[in-house]
Amino acid sequence: MPMQPIQTFVNRPVAVIMFYCGILLLGTVSLSRLSVDLLPDLTYPRLTVQTPYTDAVPEEVERVVTVPIEQTMATVPGIRRVRSVSREGLSLVIVEFNWGQNMDFASLNAREKLDAMGSLPPEIGKPTVIRLDPASRPFMVLTVTGRELAALKELCSDVFKRRLEQIRGVAMARVTGGQEKEIQILADPTRCLALGVTIDAIARAVENANIDMPGGTVLRGRYRYSLRTLGAFTDIHEIENVTVAYTAAGPVLLKDVARVREGFKERTGRTHYNGQESIGILLHKETGGNTVRVSGQVQSILEELRLEYPEIPLIIAYNQADFISQSIANVMQAILLGGILAFVVLFFFLHEWRHPLNIAAAIPISIIATFILLYFTGVGINLMSLGGLALGVGMLVDSSIVVLENIFRHRELGLKPGPAAVEGTREVAMAVTASTFTTIAVFLPVLYVKGVAGQLFKDQALTVTFSLLASLTVSLSLLPVLASRFGRRVFQTADLDLLNEEEGLSQRKFFRWLKVPLRWLWKALRRTARGLGHDIRRLGRWIFKPLGRILRRLAGPVFRASDRVLAFLLHHYETLLSRALSRRSVTLLILAAILILTAAAASLLPRELMPRVDQGEFTMELNLPPGTSLEALTDQVQNMEAALLKDPGVSDVFSNLGMSGGETGLNLEGSLNHAELRVRLKDGYATDDLMVKYRKIFATGAGRLHFGTGETVLSQILGGSDADVIIQITGDTPAAAALMDSVKAVCSRIPELTDLQSRHEEGRPEYTLTIDRRQAGRYGLSVRQVALHINHLMMGEIASQLKEFDRKTDIRVRPRFEEGKTMEVLLNQRIPASGTLVPLRELIQVRRQRGAVEILRENQTRTISLFADVTGKSLGQTVQRIEAELAGLHRPANTRIRVAGAREEMQASYQSLLLAACLALALVYMIMAAQFESFKHPFIIILSVPMAAVGTVWLLLLTGQSLNVVSLIGVVVLVGIAVNDAIVKVDFINQERRRGTPLTESLMEAGRKRFRPILMTSVTTILGLTPMAVGLGKGAELQRPLALAIIGGLITSTVLTLIMIPVIYSLLAGRRPGPKTNKEQVS
């Protein structure tokens, strides 16, 4: 770097310090305005088309709804895969897009295709397009318990919901659970038949009698008046007087054939909290909102509501802000501890507190400056961005260490502080700039990584890049100023510059009249400042000199011990380097053996998509036999809740039974035989231990029980698959079903697979009613008339709605069966036909059978799937064993087995990260080639990368970590970090050779002079990452593999770089430092 900018910085200390004061001010303001969330804004490229078809069996749902929607969605551009699930009363078509697809446009295209598809039969609900967006999940779940659930639900809907939605940052509050009111018109079948009134006729009469319409306008004089015709019901008694038919005796009123009452809709779901039925309030935040801040505002409103309604318990069942706050606090603690450890290392290396304090100043200044760039790039505070700061906290001082160490070297050579600061900074400016840019360069390919890894680590890459750029700026501008001004009269040069500027101004005619008062004012201020500065210095000497003496006495033995250790290491290092240079062949053979052993050890590392993150909770999904009633499901869930609540490690249990909507409010998994229990644990209890315990306790219960970890937010983001392993069989359904039995038997013998379940089951009981067309035709009835009559008898019909202020209550018409809804009662019902009443048993044939619970399809072909989770071993090892076991199975013709699940996302992420690593190596090589003006020296430096991989592999293996997306990101980052020491060393070797020093002496001299700064930068980076590597606190598991990968790589790269790089340099550089070689090695 030219001397002029550095000289300017040293000559203008006031300007430099004011610049950084402005940076600190703007950074503090930016920090206060950054959003706070658990993870970055992530969008999984998937849409779900949800279509209800009430009480339809899966086969009918597939034929009428799923297949047409699949065919329509297949024409949407950018699709990767189309899957579907057809279950009783519901069709789900899942459309997966390529990564990088604009999901706003994809949603718009999907809706346009659905609109152009044409109308489905009227009894089918409208298709709804749903995006898988983690931000759409509720950030807080409230529960309200009490005896009168209907009154509680009204209070929650009318009062609590509205108060909560008024909070800035709350997008929506949704009320779930409880009972929903409806107006029931219970028709007497006997009287209806006697008077010739049908359910459909009653419904049409009620609908026609309940209407408000505009009537146009009339003129009166000079004014125009609007007309409104009012005919809507105002209370329930008006419904009873509706005329439903006419006979010879006169009109037939509704109350003559039916009874009108207020009732409740048939229950399809329940919500429990700690064993009691409750009302749930699910709060969703606005996009980009600060979760922690909004959560605090919600809790303030809840306190007000508790004072207004002291008899109603308002309980927070789930609050994402708690986990976010704890996770962010843990990362902030890791940043603080890393900075302190880095400062302590510098303190012991430099033997005083002032200059380590100068270097350590780069950490907070760089971090606060990073907040400015985060604000303007739209990156918020989350686990990944703060993880980037924790990752970079040890590297932020690397440039400053190299710069300050070189300034000290020039001070020892006799230069004054100012010239030493300028010359010392200039010599290493290009080297530290290159090393910083090589580190930054490895984060650029991360932005190209597709899939979950790319979205998850984008914020981290940007954060590290911004912080390193800020630290480089600090080391080349602020640090020379501080190093040149310590121990001198501060700002003396700045005074002269300001006076010269003042004289320059006085020469201008326009400002000449300001000369005398400005000079007088400046002299007065300068005298005051000097006086204050003198007093402050005296006070500082009086206070700090005794403290300094005490600290020196206490630290003296430690300093002497550290000096002895450093001298011991340097002596043995020189001896070892000398032997390595004299026996280069043996040295290279040892390196090759180390690399071969490391490659063998790498094959033993378990492989998985993401590290497990324990959020202190787990879920249990209970599926009872198909056809189980909601009451039977409730009994079993209450028994499970009672057992869980007796456990001292369980804090609370939140349960969703049936089709209550769950946390997302979407019935994607809901059915009357399905329940989901979320178990939150107290601090100090391990989630895995309790899962193993209750897996054994509940193993003997009825139905299937599936356990899931509490990583509810991450599991929605990291792939979106239903299980760790999904074995799919496609082909002819009977043959595929037989093959599935064999596959299930094989998988049951693999102990690592737990919670095996196949959703293709012939288990749902049903009656099929076949209408006799010929018999119906004899009475003048169509098949549709008979089917609608049966539908209205058993399900009723929503005729209209009763409006009360802003509330609408459904009005349902259905027959009143005193004996209950049984098959015998249905068969005894009669249908009007040609002036007579025909019993239904004469028109239909009844058969009892069992149908599929649900039908799965992929790419418009039926599939049968087996779902399983992996425990005890890695996903990669388990999948390899599954494939080996399945290879020996006999497969019928036209059937195919495919192992899917989280493995697919893992393979895609691994391929993207491999590409990122190759790009990182290429970029690092190009940057170094540009710096050294050589193609050979960058190749020497790049060899430090495999040396770093040695430590990464062995440390991950020793600590029991897996090879996952996070640890692979650490490997990519290591490509840029590992070469830094080699860059500094090779640059110094080149400088020595340009001075005419022989090759061997240049290698030894570079090793001797660069030993201390290389050791300092490596140790500070390692200790800066140590708190993250320890992984204490919630959320730390996500960042721990990354820190361990970098620490292990730095340890071996530092040790091997000090030895191997000089050896390789001596082999490739040649021994004659002639003019050509000098030109090639110019820095």
Q: Read off the pLDDT of residues 240-250 as tens digits, 9 standing for 90 and up.
A: 888 888 887 88
The whole-number pLDDT of residue 298 equals 92
Residue 875 domain flag: no
pLDDT in tens, 325-349: 777 777 777 777 777 777 777 777 7
**557 and 581 together in one domain:** no
Which one, of 862, 869, 881, 890, lies nearest residue 726 by Cα?
Answer: 869
Q: Which residues contact 1074 (CB under 8 A, 6 or more apart)?
A: none
The whole-number pLDDT of residue 663 equals 43
Q: How far apart are CA 369 and CA 376, in angstroms?
A: 12
**529 and 462 together in one domain:** no
What residue type is 1075 in one-letter code?
Answer: P
pLDDT-derived band at 300, boundaries 50, 70, 90: very high
* Mean pLDDT along residues 577-584: 85
In the block, tokens 């919600």 appear at 298
Residue 383 domain flag: yes
The rounded mean pLDDT for the chain is: 78
What residue type is 668 in one-letter code?
Answer: L
**918 and 1046 together in one domain:** yes
Residue 970 domain flag: yes
**912 and 988 together in one domain:** yes
**319 and 293 together in one domain:** yes
* Mean pLDDT along residues 398-417: 78
Residue 255 domain flag: yes
Instruction: Report whether pLDDT(354) > 70.
Output: no
**257 and 277 together in one domain:** no
Which one, of 345, 324, 430, lies nearest residue 394 by Cα?
Answer: 345
The whole-number pLDDT of residue 302 equals 92
**1049 and 1070 together in one domain:** yes
Instruction: Write the CATH number for 275.
Output: 3.30.70.1320
Flag the least confident range among 491-495, 627-631, 634-638, 823-827.
491-495
**539 and 580 together in one domain:** no
Q: For a pLDDT cut of 70, what percent of the chain falls above it?
A: 84
Instruction: Report whether pLDDT(1078) > 60.
Output: no
Residues 325, 327, 331, 336, CA torsion sign: positive
In the block, tokens 């020996």 appear at 888
The whole-number pLDDT of residue 712 equals 43
How many CA atoms are closer than 13 Å to the CA of 816, on its beta-carbon side? 14
The whole-number pLDDT of residue 26 equals 93
Instruction: Write the CATH number for 968.
Output: 1.20.1640.10
Q: Which residues contact 974 (CB under 8 A, 6 or more apart)?
A: 945, 948, 949, 952, 1045, 1046, 1049, 1050, 1053
The whole-number pLDDT of residue 130 equals 80
pLDDT-derived band at 665, boundaries 50, 70, 90: very low
Q: Domain residues for 1052?
A: 3-33+351-507+568-605+907-1080
The whole-number pLDDT of residue 666 equals 42
**677 and 594 together in one domain:** no
For 23-31, the CB contacts below 8 A with 24+ separation are 23/365, 23/368, 23/369, 23/372, 24/365, 24/368, 26/372, 27/368, 27/369, 27/370, 27/371, 27/372, 28/368, 28/371, 30/371, 30/372, 30/374, 30/375, 30/376, 31/368, 31/371, 31/381
**93 and 170 together in one domain:** no
Last residue of a domain, one of 837, 852, 867: 852
User: How many other CB atoms are found less than 10 A from the CB of residue 187?
Assistant: 25
Angle of CA points 878, 884, 885, to nearest 5°: 90
Structural domains in the chain (count): 6
**87 and 235 together in one domain:** no
pLDDT in tens, 249-277: 888 888 888 989 888 887 778 888 888 88
The whole-number pLDDT of residue 1019 equals 82
DSSP assignment of 833-891 equals ETTEEEEGGGTEEEEEEEEESEEEEETTEEEEEEEEEE-SS-HHHHHHHHHHHHTTS--
pLDDT in tens, 470-529: 888 888 888 888 888 753 433 333 333 333 343 343 334 434 444 555 555 555 555 555
Residue 217 domain flag: yes
Residue 973 domain flag: yes
Instruction: Report whether pLDDT(670) > 60.
Output: no
Which one, of 139, 76, 144, lies nearest residue 111 by Cα?
Answer: 76
- Is there a contact between 628 and 634 (Cβ–Cβ < 8 Å)? no
The whole-number pLDDT of residue 521 equals 55
Calculated CA dihedral for residues 654, 657, 661, 662, nearest 10 degrees? 30
| Distance set, CA 606 to CA 779, 874, 959 (Å) | 72, 5, 12
**412 and 374 together in one domain:** yes
Which one, of 106, 207, 100, 168, lies nearest residue 797 by Cα?
Answer: 207
User: How many other CB atoms are found less than 10 A from the CB of residue 751?
Assistant: 10
Residue 446 domain flag: yes
Residue 867 domain flag: no
- Is there a contact between 319 and 297 (Cβ–Cβ < 8 Å)? no
pLDDT-derived band at 711, boundaries 50, 70, 90: very low
Q: Which residues contact 958 (CB under 8 A, 6 or more apart)?
A: none
pLDDT-derived band at 1074, boundaries 50, 70, 90: very low
| Distance set, CA 982 to CA 962, 976, 1004, 1013 (Å) | 29, 11, 14, 12
The whole-number pLDDT of residue 1 equals 47
Flag the least confident range among 66-75, 716-725, 978-987.
716-725
Instruction: Report whether pLDDT(911) > 60.
Output: yes
The whole-number pLDDT of residue 29 equals 92
